Amino acid sequence: SACCAVVISATESSARDACLQALGVKKSSWKLATLTPQDYSTHAGIGFCYSPDAFSASDFDGGDVNHQKILAATTVLTQLKDHFEFNFEKLVIAPVIHGGRAVDGNIVGVLSMRVFT
């Protein structure tokens, strides 16, 4: 699925609340949102969207252009602090943000969609 970079600026809210507000999620669905701490430095060689517990760099084809883009985004994410995965575990179709805070306090991340089938 396609991903895009996001920046949520000038927020003093928690990362969870900032993501909910930026995405325009209805307040009635806020209770379904989760924010899981991450350490994207452990994702080097595999990518931010893969679990280091389940994958290793040898699982991927080094020539895959899309995976190279994921690795480039992972490099950016490692430069942030307070890494997180914003998600809705109980919804079938939901946005996901892998992100963190830049030194200026802005939230920087990668927005994607998740579909359980």
* Residue 96 pLDDT: 96
Domain count, the chain: 1
| Per-residue model confidence (pLDDT) at position 92 | 84
Neighbours of 17 (CB within 10 A): 14
Quick one: pLDDT at residue 1? Answer: 52
Identify the CATH number of the domain in which residue 8 sits. Answer: 3.40.1460
Which structural domain, as residue segments, surrounds residue 23? 4-115
Give the mean pLDDT of the chain: 92
Q: Low-confidence residues of the chain, pLDDT below 50? A: none
What pTM does this model have? 0.90
Q: Choose among 107, 52, 55, 54: nearest CA to 76.
A: 107
Q: How far apart are CA 13 and CA 57, in angstroms?
A: 35
For 76-105, write each residue's pLDDT tens digit: 999 999 999 999 988 889 999 999 999 999
